[in-house]
Amino acid sequence: QGCAQKYVVKNYFYYYLFKFSAALGEEIFYITFLPFIYWNIDHSVSRRMIIIWSIVMYIGQVSKDILKWPRPLSPPVVKLEMRTDAEYGMPSTHAMAATAISFSFLIATTNQYKYPFELGLVAAFVFSTLVCLSRLYTGMHTVLDVIGGALISAVLLVLLYPAWDTIDHLLLTSPFCPLLSIVVPLVLCYNYPKLDYYSPTRGDTTTILGAGAGATVGFWLNNQYAVPAYTSENFQLGFPLITSKMLVVMLARFFVGIFIVLLTRRLMKSVVLGMLGYRYKFPIGDLEARRRLEVEVPYKFITYSSVGFSATVLVPLLHGLLGLM
């Protein structure tokens, strides 16, 4: 339990391909790709992707802890990851996230921008398939876990798509949006299904809902006090139209933004943990104390809601000051 199983890599191409593909369903991908879309492609596309991602991931994480289906036994499988081994297996939230992000991006852009739909469909299918296969290769899920996750995500996309515009409009214009965006996720986090032993699912769910809450408040503030979302003009999406100058500006926005986002995460993590440690009398390095409900939920929610707010409000303001808009 908790010890990495020894293995020999015989095919380095598959090994690195699927290790990389597995990372496309983890925090490092979410914290880079979703803000990149917001800063460089289209605000409306990013908003829809973040809302869908938050809903899909919450349902997936809760479903795991309600169903309590175990992960594949090792042996016979070889597990290449250990962090999420304490979680249950069904459904695969990697498969859910990959399906939701790739196909929501396709659906959100296909009616707004001129590019071959077939190309976008193939890209979405390849992206989600690679992530799904990576969960089998790394030994973290069964075929049923992966298929179940992808199907649940697809059904949620179909059900939510007719309400996309309505939800987006309400989140941007309703005076109750900031309050509900904070209160509802917090209530869901504090009432997360209880387990007999510690699992990172509650903490990961709090991270996702916190980031979504902070971003949603940022969307609302931008619409109220910066540029109204429904009056902004979009540029045509397509690689032939991206000049070298545009590429430099896009990369500058990205690196400036990521620096601020990571700085925000580091600072808020230290500050919030320090305050909670003082309140509940535990050292910051005490892992067991950080897993307690009264510590884990506020620590992760405040930290990542600050990250979401920073990405949608502070970073665009800095872009403007630096002449990168």
Q: Which are the catalytic amino acids?
A: 94, 141
- CA atoms of 196 and 68, how far apart (whole Å): 11
Q: How far apart are CA 165 and CA 170, in angstroms?
A: 9
